[in-house]
Amino acid sequence: MAKQPETVRFAIMGCADIARKVARAIALAPNATLSAVASRSLQKAQTFAAQNSLPDTVSLYGSYHELLDDPTVDAVYLPLPTSLHVQWAVAAAARRKHVLLEKPAALNTAELDRILEACESNGVQFMDGSMWLHHPRTSHMHQLLSLSHSGSIGNVQFIHSTSTMQTKPGFLESNIRVKAELDGLGALGDLAWYCIGASLWAKGYQLPASVTALPDVTRNAAGVILSITASLHWHQPNQTEATIHCSFLSHTSMDLAISASNGSLHVRDFIIPYREDIASFDFTFGAKFVDLHIGWNVKPEQVNVPNLLPQEALMVQHFATLVAAIRDCGSSPDNKWPEITRKTQLVVDAVNKSLDLGCKPVFL
Amino acid sequence: MAKQPETVRFAIMGCADIARKVARAIALAPNATLSAVASRSLQKAQTFAAQNSLPDTVSLYGSYHELLDDPTVDAVYLPLPTSLHVQWAVAAAARRKHVLLEKPAALNTAELDRILEACESNGVQFMDGSMWLHHPRTSHMHQLLSLSHSGSIGNVQFIHSTSTMQTKPGFLESNIRVKAELDGLGALGDLAWYCIGASLWAKGYQLPASVTALPDVTRNAAGVILSITASLHWHQPNQTEATIHCSFLSHTSMDLAISASNGSLHVRDFIIPYREDIASFDFTFGAKFVDLHIGWNVKPEQVNVPNLLPQEALMVQHFATLVAAIRDCGSSPDNKWPEITRKTQLVVDAVNKSLDLGCKPVFL
């Protein structure tokens, strides 16, 4: 794709599987270019470049420090294990690199705050890698939740979401995402990040008053969470309850269902759409029973939202737009993104604390 | 519809709105006839007969005792307020009338047990009015849950269901279903009966090990539950969690979503299908992400299940078949139905107790 003149030069720090998807997204985004890739060894970076047919213009580094010394790099995408985020995101910000950080952002809010403080004090943009927020479907759904919109479904009263995936044999003991020393949050970080994020999104990023884990948590031998169910509770100005279910032990699902005073909204692929070029959601508005209660007056209506770029490329494009404005026009970083991340992390922490307390409610 | 020779003669005790639907169902069922209607006054029974164009052959009574004295009545359908169920269901069984009892079956299991003991000792069939269990769609969905079936979605791991309805102005203070002295269970009886029933159904009627109410309960001034969220937890032989959300304060919804080890199942009108003549559900089997995780390998598959009779007529037909077998062939009552009802009531009681304990888990 033809690049815009003021393109943002990205580097990828770490060659995780997800980096392949983001490398493609950087190639697709009209205002982004991949300029460097680093891994812990040069050979790994070279293998990644070959496997993903990266052009020769991409610099390859055998250490993250070398990459951060590259003055041509504007922004880094960090798909490293969560336990390494604080070290390398802080180092990147200190070198004035803008930080696109894979989720979960950190092991806890204290670590995240070190990252966000480093970004703020160095004037760089922060964003976490929640791709679904950048899909045009998400904006369309948000209109239905906006009370000022004529077709609004009203006050949100109940939110249910799932993020489950069937893992390959061996995953549950050896994958990075369930290793205590690498991604100690397990499913609570990797999967619940989406459900907590979606619940907050549906509530306009109002933090819940309390969070309660439910008693069905499953852990592997190292104590890492493989499956978790929890509830979030808001009581002002309107009462809302959210339930989330996240598991590495179940069939793949990513349901989001929102019930409001005048309607409801359903989507079953909210994290990764079934298809790259179009995504849909259903809503029901003003449902009543017909006489004798032998049926409904309406059926769910399906809305199809086409997208020219996949959601991860839209994420890169959006991030690069913010970075270019800072770099070229002296704009300030957009605080919306670190705030979303921090609220999500606070709820992750609260779920974890509720588990520690034997599923007692934790008040925020 | 032409009736079969050995038709079962039904009486309706009480002229609630739901009785209109069941009167029609009795007319539609090929093996049932409506032979009598009773209300607390003859005038009410006459009005009901006129409004529903009942034939002259239907006897009208101004008291429930008179109706129970009618020797031509085989079975009674009881849509009375829940607080009256124990008195009149026991009286009906004592007169050897088979009992089709509107849900919730009773205010608590102690009351239900008096009803079930009366039915058992008098050799009459008992069934509660959960119509959705009789829809052919329910059997089709059950095949997907059956591990012996080749297309099974595997072990059930998570169940989510809702039963919410938008009520008319005035309902929340004055309707029978939220009056402390008439239907003291409120939404926990009227709505959660379905969600608890569906959760038990999905688990093959295994009782959960524990039940926990979530902290978002809403009550009216009289203390009757208007909105409730709860979780059910099984840990043997497989871990399963169910969440239910039931509310008179929200837009109409009746979602049932089941996640299992190899697939998932979704239905959004499980209690009352959108249409009377056909109902559908979706399932996803063996979902995986395509390379780079930029989409899915499958989309949900929709199954459409036509039905010649509405589900309430199928319920009446099924009940009448059991009654005729007892009446004409000396068969014994089918214990499956009172057992389903009793397990549902036990879980209703447990949710209530968890609320009383400040949302602590209640072990069954």
The CATH code of the domain that includes A224 is: 3.30.360.10
More confident of the two residues A178 and B360? B360
Residue B124 is encoded by which pair of tokens?
Answer: 């009459």
Position of tokens 């979503």? Answer: B257
A265 shares a domain with A359: yes
Which chain A residues in 165-224 lie under 8 Å from chain B, judged by CB atoms? Answer: 166, 210, 212, 214-216, 218
Residue A339 lies in a domain: no
Residue A236 lies in a domain: yes
> With 80 as the cut, is the pLDDT of residue A3 above it?
no
A266, B255: Cβ pair inside 8 Å?
yes
Which chain A residues in 283-322 lie under 8 Å from chain B, judged by CB atoms? Answer: 284, 286-289, 292-296, 299-300, 310, 312
> What is the torsional sign of CA B328, B333, B334, B340?
positive
pLDDT of residue A167: 83
Instruction: Let me know if A103 is a catalytic residue.
Output: yes
B241 shares a domain with B317: no
- DSSP codes of every residue in A207-224: PPSEEEE-TT-EE-TT--
Please report, rounded to a whole number, the percentage of residues in chain A having pLDDT higher than 90: 88
For chain B, the domain total comes to 2
pLDDT of residue B169: 73
The one catalytic residue among B103, B179, B299, B353: B103
pLDDT of residue B252: 95
> With 80 as the cut, is the pLDDT of residue A326 above it?
yes
pLDDT in tens, B187-229: 999 999 999 999 999 999 999 999 999 988 999 988 999 999 9
Report d(CA B289, CA A312) in Å as an integer. 15
**ipTM of the prediction:** 0.94
The alpha-carbon gap from A20 to the nearest alpha carbon of chain B, in Å, equals: 7
B179 shares a domain with B72: no
Residue B14 lies in a domain: yes
pLDDT of residue B1: 57
Range of the domain at A86: 8-132+312-333
A207 shares a domain with A118: no
Residue A338 lies in a domain: no
Report d(CA A7, CA A325) in Å as an integer. 11
Q: List residues bridging with A305 in a β-sheet.
A: A279
A162, B160: Cβ pair inside 8 Å?
yes
pLDDT of residue B176: 77
pLDDT in tens, A190-244: 999 999 999 999 999 999 999 999 988 999 988 999 999 999 999 988 899 999 9
Low-confidence ranges of chain B (pLDDT < 50): none
Position of tokens 């007692």? Answer: A360
- Alpha carbon of B151 to those of A202, A268, B7, B97, B263: distances in Å? 35, 21, 38, 42, 9
> With 70 as the cut, is the pLDDT of residue A1 above it?
no
- Strand ranges, E, within B32-191: 32-38, 59-61, 75-78, 98-101, 126-128, 156-164
pLDDT in tens, B283-305: 999 999 999 999 999 999 999 99
B169 shares a domain with B45: no
A181 shares a domain with A234: yes
Looking at every residue in chain A, the average pLDDT score rounds to: 95
B211 shares a domain with B359: yes
B168 shares a domain with B128: no
CATH code at position A83: 3.40.50.720
A17 shares a domain with A88: yes
- Alpha carbon of A7 to those of A31, A44, A54, A73, A110: distances in Å? 4, 27, 17, 11, 34
A244 shares a domain with A214: yes
Residue A88 lies in a domain: yes
Is residue A241 within 8 angstroms of chain B, CB to CB?
Answer: yes
- Alpha carbon of A38 to those of A47, A67, A85, B98: distances in Å? 11, 6, 15, 77
A141 shares a domain with A67: no
Residue pair B36/B61 in contact (Cβ under 8 Å)? The answer is yes
> With 90 as the cut, is the pLDDT of residue A175 above it?
no
A90 shares a domain with A174: no
